Structure 1
Amino acid sequence: MRTAVTAAQDLPTQGASGPAPSEQVEEHGLVFGGFAYQCRIVRQPAPLTEPLLLLGGSSQNRYSWQGHERWLSPLCTMVTVDLPGYGSADFLPARYGIDFLADAVAHMLAELGMPRVNLFGGCFGEVVGLRFAQRHPSFVRRILFGGAAKRLPGLYTEAVPRLTHALERGSIEEAADGLVRLFMSNPEAGRVRKHAAVARLLRNQFLTQTPDEIRKAVEHNTRLTTHGCYRPLPVPRVPTLVFTGEYDTLCTPAMGRELAATMPGCWFTTVKEGDHLVTVERREESSDLIGRFCTDRSIEDLPYCNAVERM
């Protein structure tokens, strides 16, 4: 394991305020199965709960959660990661499926000496996170999934061939427009906070992808459509919450409920004025929801959520 401890101000901020000065930010380089990957840790010296492991979507990297740190890092140590095949990690051929990525998460936590974590998975992060929880349940203290489903959305499987062909022939603007339509709700579905701003941000992110990132994106689509996203394996009986934006059209609330029903004693809710990218559109509120659940505070009657359901 290669480790570098870096001051918070030396890392990319992407418009975020970053952690409090008393918190130490570390970068760790690791290797699993011959593939190099990296993780980022914001250490909280006086945590109120177990470390929070955040597994983001396929277009997110280990810096994508810096904007949440001002609310979450006072509560606990935070861990983000570029798993093999994503972010700045080594390219991972599609023949390596979700089990491999789940085992890489377990490898990371073992290397970091973190025997138990609160697990958050958003979008594709839920796919990896659920398989990790199924294969390595002893690591998991609580589970939270956002924008999640137990099956590939029809919108995604229909869009993959078009998006892949556009990327392969270099039609980056066409692919960017298609990805924005895929991930974000139709503006007529209902009021979504920061919808236009997030759409611009997302489109620009896709337009500025490097050739390496495009190659990884194509391989990611192949990996998901080849291996699928769900196996009906036992899930650890720990406190569990699934949530999504009330106007999520990719992984709809109905699909979130379907996933929640497979996990023992799971809670489910939707965040008002949000869609699939609710953790970006309503950053403070989603951070508050995650923080409350990880510290055993009530999530009932929150002004930004609809009714909480017990599945």
Structure 2
Amino acid sequence: MRTAVTDTQELTAERSRPVAAPPERVEERGLVVDGFAYDCRIVHQRAPRTEPLLLLGGSSQNKYSWQGHEKYLAPLCTLITMDLPGYGTADFLPARYGIDFLASAVKHMLVEIKMPRVNLFGGCFGEVVGLRFAQLYPEFVSRIIFCGAAKRLPEIYTAAVPRLSHALERGRIEEAADGLVRLFMSNPSAGRVRKHAAVSRLLQRQFLDQTPDEITKAVEHNTRLLTHGCYQPLPVPDVPSLVFTGEYDTLCTPQMGRELAAAMPAARFTTIKEADHLVTVERRQESADLIGRFCTDDPIDDLPYCTPMESPRTGPVAAAGCR
């Protein structure tokens, strides 16, 4: 989902390590793959501490959705976001083009902008594309970070898609918006979630404000996922990896995150406290801090905003750095 929400106050996570220089410049590139136009946004860092960070967001996010994270992450490395074919302002992509095609578009973009190796972040649907990209093109990947992720489509999603798509196709936008908010936000009784009411209102407004083009792409996106699925049991590169979500995520639950981490050779897993599926919105600074620490090999154990780190393949691990 989109994460372009304005915080009314700074969050409480602290970054104890020094930061690098401010970003040098912002570049936007228009590209074409197999006849489909798409584009990317690059926030260059002239003195990076780590490889460029590629941020693949959810299906309703676009290349600007991560601007709120830039002040935390851009001092560390070059940031790359993109509107893949079929999403954001890119060309419409028929549902017959599956996840392999989107993964190949990510590779195409990195080749075109001459970024041979990246730290890979995928959130929600971005994890689906990111994992396939890592599986098919492991030579491009230095580290992997997935958020709000799963290796199977959530049952509540597959159950909701027919009625939500029907409502969108019939122009019943308010009905669809209500259903989408319920799908992505946890039930308030599940536990305390930061900014739950504010983020719910934000999502409601964003869904109501969708353009006809965005609605058409959203319906096609749902068809694509139901047609092609979200996971193939292909080898995953043995690189430092982290999977996390909000502790009250009811869409891609913590257990689903553990299952994904267990299918990866070197993945650790944690949850961020007082958050749900929209953890990168509700706890923006904390999630950015965790991502930044992992990408720069700073310690990620015993962070006050996280539950204890786990290694799902072997059980709980002793305190250590991210490698």
- TM-score by shorter chain over 0.5: yes
Contact 2:23–2:43, Cα closer than 8 Å, also in 1: no
CA 1:183–1:137 in 2, change beyond 3 Å: closer, same or farther? same
Q: Distance in 1 between matches of 2:245 and 2:87?
A: 23
Contact 2:168–2:219, Cα closer than 8 Å, also in 1: yes
1:173 counterpart SS class: helix
Q: Structure 2 regions of 5+ residues with no counterpart?
A: 9-20, 313-323
Shift of 1:23: 2.5
Structure 2 counterpart of 1:90, which letter? Answer: D
Q: Distance in 1 between matches of 2:57 and 2:63?
A: 8
Q: Deviations over 1:165-204 (max 9, x none)?
A: 0000000000000000000000000000000000000110
Give the RMSD, CA atoms, in angstroms. Answer: 1.3
Q: Distance in 2 between matches of 1:191 and 1:256?
A: 20
Task: Name the structure 2 match of 1:309.
Answer: 310
Which structure 2 residues correspond to residues 135-174 of structure 1 after superposition, within 5 A?
135-174=136-175
Which structure 2 residues correspond to residues 131-210 of structure 1 after superposition, within 5 A?
131-210=132-211
Task: Name the structure 1 match of 2:269.
Answer: 268
Structure 1 stretches of 4+ with a deviation exceeding 6 A read none
Q: Distance in 2 between matches of 1:21 and 1:120?
A: 21
Task: Name the structure 1 match of 2:216.
Answer: 215
The alignment's TM-score, normalised by the length of structure 2, stands at: 0.90
Q: Distance in 1 between matches of 2:23 and 2:221?
A: 37
The alignment's TM-score, normalised by the length of structure 1, stands at: 0.94
Which structure 2 residues correspond to residues 205-284 of structure 1 after superposition, within 5 A?
205-284=206-285
Q: Structure 1 regions of 5+ residues with no counterpart?
A: 1-12
Q: Deviations over 1:29-58 (max 9, x none)?
A: 000011000100000100000000000000
Structure 1 counterpart of 2:273, which letter? Answer: K
Task: Name the structure 2 match of 1:299.
Answer: 300
CA 1:51–1:168 in 2, change beyond 3 Å: closer, same or farther? same
1:293 counterpart SS class: helix
Which structure 2 residues correspond to residues 20-99 of structure 1 after superposition, within 5 A?
22-99=23-100
Contact 1:242–1:268, Cα closer than 8 Å, also in 2: yes
Q: Deviations over 1:103-157 (max 9, x none)?
A: 0000000001001000000000000000000000000000000000000000100
Contact 1:68–1:284, Cα closer than 8 Å, also in 2: yes
Q: Distance in 2 between matches of 1:233 and 1:173?
A: 40
Q: Deviations over 1:260-304 (max 9, x none)?
A: 000002100000000000001000000000000000011100000
Q: Distance in 2 between matches of 1:173 and 1:109?
A: 38
Q: Percent identity?
A: 78
Task: Name the structure 2 match of 1:287.
Answer: 288
2:225 counterpart SS class: helix
Q: Distance in 1 between matches of 2:131 and 2:170?
A: 34
